[in-house]
Structure formats: structure tokens, C-alpha cells
Amino acid sequence: MSADDRAPTRRLPRAQRREQILAAATEALSRNGFSATSLDDIAAEAGISRMILYRHFESKHDLCRAVLDRAADHLLTGSEVEVGAASVRALVAWAAANPAAFRVLFQQAAHDPEFAAHPEKLRAAMVAEVHARITEDIPETPWTQWAARLATTASLDAISTWLDVGAPDPHRAADRITSVIESVIATL
């Protein structure tokens, strides 16, 4: 569809238009990744012109950073629960409600050299939180650090795979992921 074929874009308040663009960019980036998604793809997803994109973002890089910041902010404000089974349930619930944002953070950005630091920072914070929780009950050793990293990686990879197969039964998925993590920690 060309820009001439589209219906006129309704004028939205600046904050609302920015949110619309970020939501559309999240969807487009989650499907194709950062390098394969153009600003034209994002504009088409949002139903706006590329010119409107440039009114809100100076470059594709700025837009992608804003998408990652938005996804991370939503994750952190939506999942503030104690580490353990409840946090796995919260992370699964968040991923189920925001699959594109989860994919952008933990699949697409993680594999893009330009943006990999963003999800790595989140992952490191998760590992630190899990490690702190483990060492409340078990003396710290190299194995507790291993368990914290493995538990975090297993959770994120399991959720990615779960989304890829259609996200069946979120409660059962959370229980299965928790079971895997508990078995890792039980080996300490």
C-alpha cells in the first residue's frame, strides 16, 4: 500500500502518537529483527508516514532504543515480585500479555551487536536477584553463581520457546519452568 492509498492519518496528541509508533515498532521489530526492519516497515505497521516518524524520533537507532527502554520499563514495573515461583509466573504472564516486547528484548536485541547491551543489563540484574535469593539459604560458592545464571537463562529461553509454540496454558508453563529451576537449585 502506498502512502497515497492510505486513509488520512488522524492527528493524535504527541504522547499518544509516540506510544502508537513504539507499539507498532515493537511488533515489527519482534518479527524481523533490528537490521531487517526499516523505518518504512514501522511506518506501515503504525499506519503513518515516515515523515511522522521523524517528528518523534531522529533516527532508526533512536526509535529502537526507545522501543527497548519502553519494553524494559513495562517489564520492570509489571514484574516487581520476589524471586521464586511467583516471579516466574509474573514473567510468563508478562510475556503472554506482551509477546512482541519479550521477543524484542530477549531474542532480537540479544542477537544484535548494536543493541545487545540492553537485554544483557536486564539479564545481569535478574541473575543478581536470583543469586541473592539463593544465597539467603545456601552459602555462596561458584555453584551458586552458576545456578543463578542457569536459572535465569533457562527461564528466559523456556519462555521464548513457549511463545514460539503458541504460548499454551501459562500457568502450566510457569509451573514447568519453576520445576526446572528448583531442580537446578536442589543440586547445590
In a domain? residue 109: yes
In a domain? residue 110: yes
In a domain? residue 31: no
Q: Would you state the pLDDT for residue 81?
A: 46
In a domain? residue 2: no
Spatial distance between the Cα atoms of 90 and 115, rounded to a whole number of angstroms: 25
In a domain? residue 144: yes
Spatial distance between the Cα atoms of 44 and 174, rounded to a whole number of angstroms: 35
In a domain? residue 38: no
In a domain? residue 115: yes
Give the domain range for residue 136.
76-186
> Residue 1's Cα: distance from chain center in Å?
30
Q: How many domains does the chain have?
A: 1
Count how many Cα atoms sit within 13 Å of the Cα of residue 50 in the half-sphere of its side chain.
9
Query: Could you read off the pLDDT of 43-94 as tens digits, one per residue?
Result: 999 999 999 999 999 999 999 999 999 999 988 876 544 455 568 999 999 9
pTM over 0.95: no
